[in-house]
Amino acid sequence: MEIRISVRSLVEFILRSGSIDNRKGAAPDNAMAEGGRIHRMIQRRMGSDYQAEVVMRYSWSTPAYDLVVEGRADGVINGDVVTIDEIKGTYRDLEKMKEPVDVHLAQAKCYASMYAREHDSAQMKVRMTYCNMETEELRYFVNTYQRAELDEWFEALLTEYKKWADFTNEWQEQRTASIRQLAFPFSYREGQKELATYVYRSIVHKRKLFIEAPTGVGKTLSTVFPAVKAIGEGKAERIFYLTAKTITRTVADNTFQLLRERQLRFKTVILTAKEKICFMEETECNPGACPYADGHYDRINDAIYDLLLHEDHYNREKVEEYARKYKVCPFEMSLDMSLFSDGIICDYNYVFDPHVYLKRFFAEGVQGQYIFLIDEAHNLVDRGREMYSASLVKEDFLALKKIVREYDGKMEHQLDKCSRELLPLKRECEDCRIVGSIEPFVQAVERLYETMEKYLEEHDESPVREDVLDFFFEISHFLLIYDGLDENYVIYTELEEDDSFMVKLFCVNPSVNLKECMQRARSTVLFSATLLPIQYYKSLLGGEKEDFEVYAKSTFNPKKKALYIGSDVTSKYSRRSPKEYYNIAYYLREITRMRYGNYLIFFPSHSFLQSVFEVYEENFLDPETEECIIQEDIMSEEDREQFLSRFEGNRNCELEDMIHMDIEVEEEKSLLGFCVMGGIFSEGIDLKNDSLIGAVIVGTGLPQVCNEREILKSYFDAAGKNGFDYAYRYPGMNKVLQAAGRVIRTSEDVGIVALLDDRFLNGAYQQLFPREWEEYEVVTADRVARRVERFWDEWL
């Protein structure tokens, strides 16, 4: 058996000490692109004796396993005594450096020892090359080591890591044995076994798999179980379960817990956002502001080892418990626990975001034996566009210029220069304008970046440091995105109503970026209850022709759901009027009066919702028999939970039990929730049985017309696609399908879905209906009550 670790990870894990301090090294990872340029520049300048990017691998044998240490040396210089060159870019004043940074030197010494062992060298040189990224000035630190000295040092490092490797080896043996005896925890539903087989085959063949899986298929278990089995067969080493929302992370967590209850030995961690898990009121990561940051690295390995020995599941509560016990940062501890976890449950950004991604797994660009399970994958299109786009606002340069004026004249001048470079672009922009080149502005931003980096390096205690740091992150993201611009981007400028002026690098097609990230895994499985049309999602989510796709069959009795299409109302802008609002409100009354219970009513916007609600309240609301609650524009987590709890608490017992006991199925009151399509209550919530008996969807969900949507439309039209479909119809229909999916959540559920817009009778929309929507009834406001009553009579 092999246990693998990179040189960088080994050194940083064993030799770390001291405190977390975000004041030191403002944003080293944001400087990676520039650092790469410096590496290449130095390597090109060297002579023929210089070998760049030399891959090295050393296997350290123990009785039970081989510990494989691997990495890539920046340079190997041939000569009488071979030299290992380690290059680091920095904005520090090189004259003030007395010696190399310990962990940098340690990396180089690892490579030197590995090289000496492979080539039987008696002596090695190590050269630390520091380059100032602003001036390109170089500073060298050179040391000569005897082979025996390097061997002793490297051996001590490996011996110190051995207790962790021993633990990993013993754990993996237990894990593998438990997986081999693990059986699927339930009787397979129809189609579920085939779905699990598709997932396993995709992992074996190293492909991506796109799954359209209606509610009730059990897609979480059907993807997790075969992925776990693949690990037991040695096909993979770790599962990343990626989600867009907290509630779906809970479902994944419960699934792993269910398998652990069946004797699976499998360690999982849930990564919680730093702002949520931080113990302090202000998330300020330095020893002066946070006692958990002070001396964190001196205590963290003891905390990790204790948690490893005593728990298999590292959720937020468990991580916080041990973090308090050892007085370490809970966020950093959760990231460290991921190194020893078999399953990592986290947000999309930990794999896909160019700044937040887990560099401990993905930084060196090597494909790992990982499985990515991407839940609610339809969300990844817009999230991808957001992560790979960047914008800067002219007024922000001027605001910071005023703040730094008395602290740094050079920065003040460069902020002003950036603002002035935007002036010609602003004069040419009346509303929104696509532009070809912004090179003069970008060059000014690059010079500002260098100045800000240097200022942050040298002014730990500056009163304006936080303002500078916040804006530094913005411009570093902008430059990183600019460096990767290609035909999948549009650069545009926009003049806002408040006269502020923005320039944006808009990623219209995120497929290339997403595909590059997915190449870090052996296999990626993308699944959602609403992945239609599947070719649209496949094209935008980095799918390739040879990748697999499957439509999982719904296991529910279709007769338990009634689908109605209102043919005499619409949400079209051209027909919005008091009369139309009245007609829609009348529909709501007619649908909900046929049976007391809980209903969610979805609208295309808050303003539309408010217009219809006011009409409903004035003309139809009966406080004796019903209550209405409204989704507010802005809601805290507590507000959301309270909203949902009203639905969960408004049922007495399960519908099927009532039917068997011949009980009259009526509530004292109906509860009508007025919500926004595509909002927090239209997907990811699980209201089972009588928690929800009906969903009314007003309109086709089309996104509001705006500059970005029109840019998307034009871009895909030019690419030979239907731009309206890509920019409006497909995203809108996804919202509709998500909202409708709230009703039937289990095989016992019975409910109705009403689509109130005559456009749903149009062939372009009906082509996007899932298979479960093959049967529907066309209704009008004066006939819908009779149809609904007939449906409930059949079930009650």
327 is a domain residue: no
Separation in Å, CA 585 to CA 352, 619, 780: 43, 9, 13
Same-domain pairing of 542 and 582: no
Whether residue 277 lies inside any domain: the answer is: no
CATH code at position 781 = 3.40.50.300
Q: What is the pLDDT of residue 35?
A: 56
pLDDT surpasses 80 at 667:
no
Q: What is the pLDDT of residue 214?
A: 84
Question: Is residue 308 domain-resident?
Answer: no
* pLDDT single digits (tens) 65-104: 999 999 989 899 999 999 999 988 777 778 888 899 899 9
- Among 551, 578, 603, residue at a domain's last position: 551
Q: Are residues 605 and 648 in the same domain?
A: yes
394-405 mean pLDDT: 97
> Considering 490, 507, 524, which residue would you say is the last residue of a domain?
507
Indicate whether 469 belongs to any domain.
Answer: yes
Q: Is the peptide bond before 533 cis (omega within 30 degrees of 0)?
A: yes
Q: Domain ends where: 440, 475, 507?
A: 507
Sign of the torsion formed by the C-alpha atoms of 384, 385, 390 and 392: negative
Please report the sign of the dihedral spanned by the C-alpha atoms of residue 367, residue 373, residue 378, residue 379.
Answer: negative
Which has the higher per-residue pLDDT, 686 or 701? Answer: 701
Residues 720 and 642 both lie in one domain: yes
Question: What is the reported pLDDT for 248?
Answer: 82
- Nearest-angstrom CA–CA distance, 734 and 533: 9
Residue 468 pLDDT > 70: yes
> Are the C-beta atoms of 38 and 131 separated by less than 8 Å?
yes
Is the domain of 634 the same as that of 695?
Answer: yes
CATH number of the domain within which 114 lies? 3.90.320.10
Confidence of residue 170 (pLDDT cuts 50, 70, 90): very high
Q: Give domain status of residue 670, yes or no.
A: yes
What is residue 22's predicted lDDT score, i.e. its pLDDT?
80
Both 577 and 657 in one domain: the answer is: yes
Range of the domain at 383: 191-266+349-387+510-551
The verdict on residue 180 lying in a domain is no
Asked if 636 and 692 sit in the same domain, the reply is: yes
Let me know if residue 753 belongs to a domain: yes
Tally of domains within the chain: 4
Q: Are 485 and 517 contained in the same domain?
A: no
Q: What is the mean pLDDT of residues 178-196?
A: 92
Distance CA 62, CA 88 (A): 34
Q: What is the pLDDT of residue 787?
A: 96
Question: Are residues 90 and 234 part of one domain?
Answer: no
- Model pTM score: 0.90
Residues 573 and 637 reside in one and the same domain: yes
Q: In the sheet that 598-603 helps form, which strands lie side by side, from edge to edge?
A: 626-630, 670-676, 598-603, 694-698, 751-756, 561-566, 777-779
Q: Are residues 528 and 562 in the same domain?
A: no
pLDDT at position 32: 46
**458 assigned to some structural domain:** yes
Site of tokens 């931003």: 445
pLDDT at 760 over 60: yes
Instruction: Check whether residue 655 and residue 667 sit in a common domain.
Output: yes
Question: 92 with 197, same domain?
Answer: no
Rounded CA-CA distance 101/413 in Å is 33
